[in-house]
Amino acid sequence: MPVRPDEVKTGTEQTAAPVALITGSSMGIGKALAAVMAARGYRVALNGRDTARLEAARAALTATGAEVIAVPGDVSRWEDGERMVAAILQAWGRLDVLINNAGAATRGPVGELAPAVFAQVLNINLLGTIYPTRAALPAIRATRGSIVCISSLAGIHGIPYNAVYSASKQALGAFTESLRLEEREAGVHVGLVYVGFTENDPQKVVFDTDGNPIYLPAREGLRKQTPEQVATAIADLIARRRPRLVLTPMGKALYLIQRLWPGLIDLIYTRNLATIRQQASTPAERVG
């Protein structure tokens, strides 16, 4: 059952250091977010499906003096979302920030993707945000805290050969906008972050057209932010309780053009379609 507001601890637990749950935080942006939030005085709950990697991330952050727990689980499963929030409330009695960072991507045209791939990506990116949010809402309302959803450039305009990923990120935008209005009277801050090109963790995995996990090839020839830069920007959004944030000059330009001259983006992608197609079909190393 969802946690009720009256089940959230009060007293000394509620006046202690704030608590942040970051999904998909055993690597990449999520791991960097955990370090930044810990440095800003938060107790941090890490989440991921790979328990060995998650424990390594927890141990590394704990070694810096941070107060950290690991709550392993699959965000696309409702039961796991409930269990994660319950574990945090049992440990610390409160939850102030939920950052929905976990996500998945695929490569290839719609006509070549196996039907199961659509469900894989949508379940992780969309339900994997909705379920933890629903499970955490009573506790976040109790602290008048923040819920942040992580989108990407694909959430601004669909990217060819990334259609299902783009669909999930644009749906995430609608979910976030609706949630923001619903929770305004409860004093909950709801933020949406459009992340631009970011340096990949070497262990970053996407799905191929058959749904097999492959390591994402390095992005060459692009100006990229570091995970630490992205994490700092997201932490600032939370501190200032801003409704949205678009990262990188390219992202800001794309966001503006989409609203003023959407046909221009179609033209830009069309002129670069061959390059995008080649990048999407570049052979990649299988996981395992």
User: Which residues does the annotation mark as catalytic?
Assistant: 165
CB proximity list for 174: less than 8 A, separation 6 or greater: none
Q: Radius of gyration of the chain from Cα atoms?
A: 19
Give the DSSP per-residue string, 264-275. Answer: HHHHHHHHTHHH
- The kind and range of the H/E element at 80 are helix 78-92
Q: Angle at the Cα of 187 (from 184 to 193), degrees rounded to 5?
A: 70
Place of tokens 């097999």: 212
- The kind and range of the H/E element at 282 are none
How deeply is 201 buried, as exposed, middle or buried, from its count of CB atoms within 10 A (0-12, 13-18, 19+)?
Answer: middle
Where would I find the H helices in 144-286?
163-182, 227-240, 249-260, 262-271, 273-281
* Structure tokens that stand for 36 in this block: 């930044």
Give the DSSP per-residue string, 162-185. Answer: -HHHHHHHHHHHHHHHHHHHHTTT
Instruction: Determine contact, residues 211/117, Cβ cutoff 8 Å.
Output: yes
Instruction: Determine contact, residues 57/46, Cβ cutoff 8 Å.
Output: yes
